[in-house]
Amino acid sequence: MTQPQVHSAPASRPALTLRTAVAGVGGYAGGELARLLLSHPRLAETQPMLLGRTAEEAPGGAMPLEQLHPQLALGGGRKLPEVIPFHWNAVADAGVELVFLALPHETSREWAPHWIERGIRVIDLSGAWRLKDNANRAVYGLHDPDPTLAESLQKEAVYGCPELHRDTIAQARLVANPGCYATSIILALAPLLRAGWVDLDYGIVCDAKSGVSGAGKAATAKTHFMYAADNLSAYAVFGHRHTGELLEQLGLACEQIQFTPHLLPIPRGILSTIYLRLRDKTEPQAIEAGLRSFYASSPMVRIHRTPSLPHIQHVVRTCYGDIGFHLAPDGRRLVLVSCLDNLLKGASGQAIQNMNLMCGWKEEEGLL
C-alpha cells in the first residue's frame, strides 16, 4: 500500500510578537482563548485586547476578566486585562493585528469583512467561513449584507486544520477554525483516505460523543442538568452542521459517511468511534506506521500504539488530538478511536495553533 503523505511546515520569517484581540471572550471558547494568550511566551509584552458585550453595562464600561472567568484570577494582587465593549476605533488605536472571533455564526459572517478591510487578520471560531459549498453552508442560514464581498472572502478563507493545511494557513488573512466533532473525525480518517486504503463502497460510520460544553455557554433545555445528567442521547441525526466539513475536507459524498453525534453527561471532551472497511487485507503494523508517518510533523497529534485506545481523560484540558485503532483478525474491518478536548484542540487550542503558523512560530508554542 502507498504510504500517506507527510506534511511539513514551511520555512518563514517569524514575527517577534503580535497584538491580538478576542471578540466574544465571555463564552467557554473565549475564556480558553484568553487563558492561552495570556500565558503564550511570544505575547508576554502584548496582552490581548478582550472584547465582550457584557462589559457594556459594567461600571465605567469595563469588567474584570476574572468576573467572567474566575478560574483565571491571579494571586499576589496581580491584575488581568479588563474586558471592554467593542468599538472599531478602540481596536484601531490599540494596533490590533489579529483578531479571534468567538461569536455567533451570523455575527462573524458580518464582522469578518470589516476586520479584513482594516488589514487585521481573522481567526474565526464559528462556522461562518468553514464551508465552500453553498448547499453545505445553508445549514447555518447566513445572510450576507454584501453577497459579492462575502463570496470573494469565502473563496479566500482557509480551513484551519493545521495538520492538513499548514502551508496555506501560514499565508492566510481569514482562517476558519474547524468544528470540534469535525476535527476529531477528520484527523482520524484523513491519513487512510488520502492513502486510498478505505473501501468506500462499504461506507464509513462515525459515532461521536461530546461533553455539554460543546453546545456553548447559553443554557438550553437539552443542556439543563436534569436532561443531561445520567443520560446519553443522540441528536441531529442526518442533519448535524459539521457534516459538510467532513464531506469537503475528506472528499466524500454524503452517502459514503454517516455521522451521528451524542450528548455525554460530562463537561468537556469528545470521543469519536469510526467504523470502516479496508480495500485490502492489512496488518496492524502498517496502519500504525501510516498514521505515524502522516503525522510525523504534527506536534499536537498523538498516535496510540495498538491495541491501546485513547480515552477522554487522556486529552481533557490539553490541546492534543489522540488517535488509536483496532484491526479485526480478517485484516479489513477497522475501528478508529479519536479523542480531543472540544474547547481546546476542538476550538481555542487549534485557533492558537493557527495563530502560531500565521506568525511563523512553532505550532506547539503556548500549547504544551
Q: Where are the domains of the chain?
A: 20-178+347-359, 180-342
| Grid cell listed for 208 | 461521536
The answer to whether 317 and 27 are in contact (CB under 8 A) is no
Question: Which is catalytic among the residues 180, 206, 319, 339?
Answer: 180
Q: What are the tens digits of pLDDT across the range 183-225?
A: 999 999 999 999 999 999 999 999 999 999 887 777 787 788 8
Q: For residue 164, give the nearest of 148, 143, 185 by alpha carbon.
A: 185
C-alpha separations of 194 from 105, 132, 298, 311 in Å: 30, 20, 16, 26
pTM of the model: 0.93
In this structure, of 4-18, 152-166, 296-310, the range with the lowest mean pLDDT score is 4-18
Beta-strand relationship, 121-124 and 204-210? unpaired
Tallying the residues shown for the chain, one arrives at 368
Q: What are the tens digits of pLDDT across the range 238-289?
A: 989 999 999 999 999 999 999 999 999 999 999 999 999 999 999 999 999 9
Q: Is the dihedral of CA 330, 332, 333, 334 positive or negative?
A: positive
Per-residue pLDDT, averaged over 25-45, amounts to 95
Residue 52 pLDDT level (bands cut at 50, 70, 90):
confident
Residue 15 pLDDT level (bands cut at 50, 70, 90):
confident
pLDDT > 90 fraction of the chain, expressed in percent and rounded? 82
C-alpha separations of 173 from 31, 237, 326 in Å: 23, 34, 40
Q: How far apart are CA 174 and CA 251, in angstroms?
A: 22
pLDDT of residue 228: 86
Does residue 28 carry a pLDDT above 80?
A: yes
pLDDT of residue 109: 96
Per-residue pLDDT, averaged over 301-319, amounts to 97
Burial 125-141 (b: 16+ CB within 10 A, else e): bbbbbbbeeeebbebbe
Phi first, then psi: what are they for 259, rounded to 5°?
-115, 120
Give the residue with greater pLDDT, 129 vs 222.
129
CB within 8 Å of 4: residues ≥ 6 apart: 191, 192, 194, 195, 290, 291, 293, 294
- CATH fold of the domain at 180-342: Dihydrodipicolinate Reductase; domain 2 (3.30.360)
Q: What are the tens digits of pLDDT across the range 232-250?
A: 999 999 989 999 999 999 9
Q: What is the 3-state secondary structure (H, E, C) of the chain?
A: CCCCCCCCCCCCCCCCCCCEEEECCCCHHHHHHHHHHHCCHHHCCCCCEEECHHHHHCHHHCEEHHHHCHHHCCCCCCCCCEEECCCHHHHHHCCCCEEEECCCHHHHHHHHHHHHHCCCEEEECCCCCCCCCHHHHHHHCCCCCCHHHHHHHHHHCEECCHHHHHHHHHHCCEEECCCHHHHHHHHHHHHHHHCCCECHHHCEEEEEEECHHHHCCCCCCCCCHHHHCCCCEECCCCCCCCHHHHHHHHCCCHHHEEEEEEECCCCCCEEEEEEEEECCCCCHHHHHHHHHHHCCCCCCEEECCCCCCCCHHHHCCCCCEEEEEEECCCCCEEEEEEEECCCHHHHHHHHHHHHHHHHCCCCCCCCC
Q: What are the tens digits of pLDDT across the range 70-124?
A: 999 998 888 899 999 988 888 888 999 999 999 999 999 999 999 999 999 999 9
| Grid cell listed for 159 | 480551513
Instruction: Indicate the CATH number for domain 20-178+347-359.
Output: 3.40.50.720
Active site residue 180: yes
